[in-house]
Amino acid sequence: MSETVSSRTANMPAAPMPLPHGDQPIVLIVDDVPDNVAPLHDALDEAGYTVLVALDGESAIRRATQALPDVVLLDALMPGIDGFEVARRLKAQPATAHIPIIFMTGLTETEHLVAALDAGGADYVTKPIKPREVMARMGVHLRTARHVRQGAVERSQARNALDAFGYATITVRESDGRLMWQTPLARELLRNHCGTESPTTPPAVLQWLRRHLGEASEQREPPRLTLENGPRRLTFRLHQRVGDEDGDADAGGDWLIVMQETSDASVLSSVAGAFGLTAREAEVLYWVVKGKINRDIGDILGASPATVKKHLERIYAKLGVETRTAAAAMAINRVPLLQPQHGG
């Protein structure tokens, strides 16, 4: 079952794939305070991870280059080379650029979190570190990085979402609905589909979360949320809740949400093929069929009304019509996917 802000229904996603039995992912912990490292080291070791430790930035870069860990847990603030610089250097090296970096930080100001993302971070956890939360976050990135290496994710998807290793991910704080973290791809998708910027969570997403909090807390994955924007759709899947591992319900936590954009490429392809249109002309005609005026089409496509008008003039010439009404009628008659029972 899924929840769609439209007439369409999306399929439930497959359950996350577990790491292969007997495989021991290598984790590099980087923190200049040994007392911070020990509890996390012991918890990860007990859970079956191979754990490496570096106590300064130079050692971290050297060890990551030598061992090529599956994930790096990186302290943001360290003397000498800080975590942000370590991340930038690892991302600049082809051999280590693919390794997901999870920042460990006490900093929660938006500008600091953005700096972590800009440096190449894929995620973050706040101090004091809770091992179970760390392992929950690691699971997302380890599985996806594994798929990328094994070729299960198409090359185009890997290139498009390299910063998140296949995922556009956000975290929303349970207590107040604040958007606490987003990958660069997620930032772009939210801006394009919802018109919102961090730390604001899109209202539709907040309503969806609050409606299904009870279900999620009982370990039942809620229906996905799908926001439709013409031929494009943005789907939200609640991956899991990460929060206080001691069971303090008042402490709250974060909702870890995975986003994916899909589109009715077949519709646009059919429109383009039927009339010999360019991809952008097909999009313009699609919105004409939907009854949008030039100004609205320009807003949707990020173009000026004058540019939309020029596209329409070329569309009229190719279709042999003189009005948008005639163009829309011809498109509907020629392309079955545009008819109401198909195009919605």
Handedness of CA 56, 57, 62, 68 (dihedral sign): positive
Highest mean pLDDT among 14-28, 167-181, 295-309: 295-309
Q: Kindly tell me if the per-residue pLDDT of 305 is higher than 60.
A: yes
Distance, in Å, from the CA atom of 100 to the CA atom of 154, rounded to the nearest integer, reads 18
The Cβ of residue 196 has, within 10 Å, a number of other Cβ atoms equal to 16
pLDDT score of 187: 87
**Cα(234)–Cα(219) distance, integer angstroms:** 24
Tokens linked to 316: 């009229």
pLDDT of residue 159: 37
Contact 169, 186 (CB under 8 A): yes
DSSP state of 292: -
Helices (H), the chain: 34-46, 57-67, 83-92, 110-118, 131-150, 155-160, 184-194, 203-217, 265-275, 279-289, 294-301, 305-319, 324-334, 340-343
Helix (H, G, I), strand (E, B) or coil at 104: strand
What does the block give as tokens for 7?
């007439």
Name 284's Cβ contacts closer than 8 Å, sequence gap at least 6. Answer: 297, 301, 308, 311, 312, 315
Instruction: Give the pLDDT band of residue 168 (cuts 50, 70, 90).
Output: confident
Contact 262, 230 (CB under 8 A): no
Tens of pLDDT along 119-165?
888 888 888 888 888 888 888 888 766 655 554 334 334 334 333 33
Q: What is the DSSP letter of 136?
A: H
Q: What is the pLDDT of residue 5?
A: 53
What local confidence, expressed as pLDDT, does residue 307 receive? 92
Least confident of 89-93, 183-187, 220-224, 258-262: 220-224
Q: Is the pLDDT reported for residue 299 higher than 50?
A: yes
Q: Has this prediction a pTM greater than 0.95? A: no
Tokens standing for 81?
């080379």
Summarize pLDDT for 2-51 with one digit per residue, the tens.
555 543 333 333 333 333 333 578 899 999 888 888 888 888 888 888 88
Among 76-80, 110-114, 118-122, 175-179, the minimum mean pLDDT is found in 110-114
> Which amino acid appears at position 309 of this protein?
K
The pLDDT value given to residue 243? 54
How far is residue 41's CA from residue 47's CA, in Å, rounded to a whole number? 10
> What's the rounded Cα separation, in Å, for the pair 271 and 75?
51
Q: Which domains does the chain have, with CATH numbers?
A: 7-165 (3.40.50.2300), 167-263 (3.30.450.20), 265-343 (1.10.10.10)
Q: Under DSSP, is residue 134 helix (H, G, I), strand (E, B) or coil?
A: helix
Q: Does pLDDT of 312 surpass 90?
A: yes
CA distance 22 to 27: 16
- Which candidate, 25, 18, 118, 110, places its Cα nearest to that of 72? 25
Max mean pLDDT among 99-113, 149-163, 275-289 falls in 275-289
